[in-house]
């Protein structure tokens, strides 16, 4: 299909009909599709950004049991929100969601507004999320482009340029607008995303099972495996970090990160990045001294965990140390609060991914003090 086809309403109508029928028969039974409740759609949309669908469903069901509606989110302490989000990453999504719920409740709303401008005024809701909520929850005719739809359109129109080029983005946006089924926007948009996720997959798309194959230009000219045109991949940046797991009796020291930094308000073991020519142990000692004022005696290497983020690969070296019962209170320079927690209680706090791996390693290492 190319953009000249917008002059062919009969062909577009047929494509829409095929998408509609395919979605009706093949859609996954995702929990928020039972009612399309706007609150549930909103949660699913925010969770779904950068996260695999099977994980979204797990987290969504747990979230709904804990926070059944907007008022429950608004009333919850931020720590409960972050704990429920723990493991999903990109914690600004959770903080924005919390702030958005509080703003809506404070302004007298009891639900998610069906209005683009009011949605865009909320934290964490940009043009894509607003369009997704409006079309999925309220069946309003807003075109949508997510990664699955972009890939599908690049094949449908056999676009020979990388997706991120501005000319390509304009073409994709025009296609989304032209092909939108204004009578059934909810089904149409979800059908495109679902088809991209299940059939027109990044590798080995199942073209024989594709309901819109007769309209697919890449299939016609045999370029499917070359579409979308790949962009040069960015290499991940390696970051080395070190931290100390400090024990006093059977309690472990943790501290809460400052609100405005990358994992704001999450908890962690004290530590930070290695400086030039520093060994992991030297970095752990220095960071702990800078962040708490404690000068440590013996340190024992405990474990090293590696965690991958979109652009970074973080290697975190962890060391164990004992503090005497007479150790003074820490002088916090990089944290807002601290706590001494038993192994059992550590699980109550929200941690970023690397430190959560350390908590699991501690539980395995010290079964006798759980
Ligand atoms: Fe994707 Fe194949 Fe369908 Fe074309 S025919 S849209 S490449 S699954």
Domain 237-369 has CATH 3.90.79.10: yes
pLDDT per residue over 241-255, tens digit each? 999 999 999 999 999
Does any ligand 1 atom lie closer than 6 A to the CB of residue 157? no
SS3 of 253, please?
A: strand
Q: Ligand 1 atom closest to Cα of 213?
A: 5
Q: Determine the pLDDT at residue 2.
A: 54
User: How much is the average pLDDT of 18-44?
Assistant: 97
Q: At what angle do helices 147-156 and 185-198 cross, to 10 degrees?
A: 80
Does any ligand 1 atom lie closer than 6 A to the CB of residue 19? no
User: How much is the average pLDDT of 10-20?
Assistant: 96
User: How much distance in Å is there from the Cα of 355 to the middle of ligand 1?
Assistant: 42
pLDDT per residue over 74-104, tens digit each? 999 999 999 999 989 889 999 999 999 999 9
**Percentage above 90 pLDDT, the chain:** 84
Q: Determine the pLDDT at residue 1.
A: 60
Sorted by where each begins, the domain ranges of the chain are 3-226, 237-369
Does any ligand 1 atom lie closer than 6 A to the CB of residue 192? no
Pairing of strands 271-273, 251-257: unpaired
Does any ligand 1 atom lie closer than 6 A to the CB of residue 257? no
User: How much distance in Å is there from the Cα of 154 to the middle of ligand 1?
Assistant: 10
- φ and ψ of 273, to 5 deg: -75, 150
DSSP letter assigned to residue 236: P
Does any ligand 1 atom lie closer than 6 A to the CB of residue 125? no
- φ and ψ of 107, to 5 deg: -95, 15
pLDDT per residue over 159-215, tens digit each? 999 999 999 999 999 999 999 999 999 999 999 999 999 999 999 999 999 999 999
Q: Ligand 1 atom closest to Cα of 151?
A: 1
User: Residue 224, class by beta-carbon neighbours within 10 Å (0-12 exposed, 13-18 middle, 19+ buried)?
Assistant: middle
Q: 0.85 exceeded by the pTM? A: no
DSSP letter assigned to residue 114: S
Q: Determine the pLDDT at residue 308.
A: 86
Confidence class of residue 5 from pLDDT cuts 50, 70 and 90?
very low
Q: Which residue lies with its CA nearest to atom 4 of ligand 1?
A: 216
User: How much is the average pLDDT of 290-317?
Assistant: 92
Q: Higher model confidence: residue 49 or residue 63? A: 63
The question of whether 150 is a catalytic residue gets the answer: no
User: In CATH, what is the architecture of 3-226?
Assistant: Orthogonal Bundle (1.10)
Q: Determine the pLDDT at residue 3.
A: 47
**Percentage above 70 pLDDT, the chain:** 97
Q: Ligand 1 atom closest to Cα of 199?
A: 8
**237-369 and 3-226 share a CATH fold:** no
Please give the Cα distance from 212 to 175 (Å, whole number): 15
User: How much distance in Å is there from the Cα of 54 to the middle of ligand 1?
Assistant: 23
What is the C-alpha radius of gyration for the chain, rounded to an integer number of angstroms? 25
Mutate to test the pocket of ligand 1, among 158, 213, 225 (most ligand atoms within 8 A of CB): 213
Confidence class of residue 4 from pLDDT cuts 50, 70 and 90?
very low
Does any ligand 1 atom lie closer than 6 A to the CB of residue 156? yes
Q: Determine the pLDDT at residue 260.
A: 81
Confidence class of residue 234 from pLDDT cuts 50, 70 and 90?
confident
Contact in structure between 282 and 272 (CB atoms under 8 Å): no
Contact in structure between 191 and 22 (CB atoms under 8 Å): yes
What Å distances lie between residue 331 and 56, 232, 274, 291, 321, CA to CA?
39, 46, 21, 7, 18
| Distant-in-sequence, close-in-space partners of 303: CB < 8 Å, separation ≥ 6 | 318, 358, 361
Does any ligand 1 atom lie closer than 6 A to the CB of residue 149? no
User: How much distance in Å is there from the Cα of 212 to the middle of ligand 1?
Assistant: 7
Q: Determine the pLDDT at residue 127.
A: 93
User: How much distance in Å is there from the Cα of 159 to the middle of ligand 1?
Assistant: 13
Catalytic residue (one of 11, 45, 281, 290):
45
CB atoms within 10 A of CB 329: 9
Contact in structure between 195 and 212 (CB atoms under 8 Å): yes
pLDDT for residue 274 is more than 80: yes
Contact in structure between 228 and 163 (CB atoms under 8 Å): yes
């Amino acid at each position: 299909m190319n953009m000249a086809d917008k002059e062919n309403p009969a062909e577009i109508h047929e494509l829409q009909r095929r998408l509609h029928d395919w979605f009706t028969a093949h859609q996954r039974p995702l929990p928020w599709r039972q009612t399309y409740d706007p609150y549930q759609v909103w949660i699913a949309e925010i969770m779904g950004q950068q996260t695999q669908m099977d994980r979204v469903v797990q987290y969504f069901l747990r979230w709904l049991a804990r926070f059944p509606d907007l008022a429950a989110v608004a009333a919850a302490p931020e720590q409960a929100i972050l704990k429920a989000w723990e493991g999903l990453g990109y914690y600004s999504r959770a903080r924005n969601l919390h702030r958005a719920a509080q703003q809506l409740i404070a302004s007298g709303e009891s639900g998610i507004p069906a209005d683009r401008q009011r949605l865009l005024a909320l934290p964490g809701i940009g043009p894509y999320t607003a369009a997704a909520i409006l079309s999925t929850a309220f069946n309003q005719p807003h075109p949508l482009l997510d990664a699955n739809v972009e890939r599908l359109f690049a094949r449908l129109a056999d676009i020979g340029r990388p997706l991120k080029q501005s000319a390509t983005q304009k073409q994709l946006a025009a296609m989304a607008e032209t092909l939108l089924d204004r009578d059934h926007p909810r089904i149409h948009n979800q059908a495109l995303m679902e088809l991209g996720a299940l059939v027109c997959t990044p590798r080995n798309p199942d073209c024989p099972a594709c309901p819109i194959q007769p309209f697919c230009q890449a299939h016609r000219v045999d370029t499917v495996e070359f579409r979308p045109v790949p962009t040069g991949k960015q290499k991940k940046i390696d970051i080395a970090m070190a931290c100390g797991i400090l024990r006093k009796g059977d309690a472990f020291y943790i501290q809460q990160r400052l609100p405005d930094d990358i994992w704001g308000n999450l908890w962690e073991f004290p530590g930070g990045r290695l400086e030039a020519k520093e060994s992991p142990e030297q970095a752990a000692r220095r960071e702990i001294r800078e962040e708490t004022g404690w000068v440590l005696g013996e340190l024992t290497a405990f474990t090293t965990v590696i965690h991958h983020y979109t652009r970074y690969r973080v290697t975190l070296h962890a060391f164990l140390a004992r503090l005497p019962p007479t150790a003074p209170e820490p002088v916090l320079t990089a944290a807002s609060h601290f706590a001494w927690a038993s192994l059992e209680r550590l699980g109550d706090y929200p941690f970023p991914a690397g430190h959560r791996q350390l908590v699991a390693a501690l539980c395995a290492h010290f079964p006798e003090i759980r």
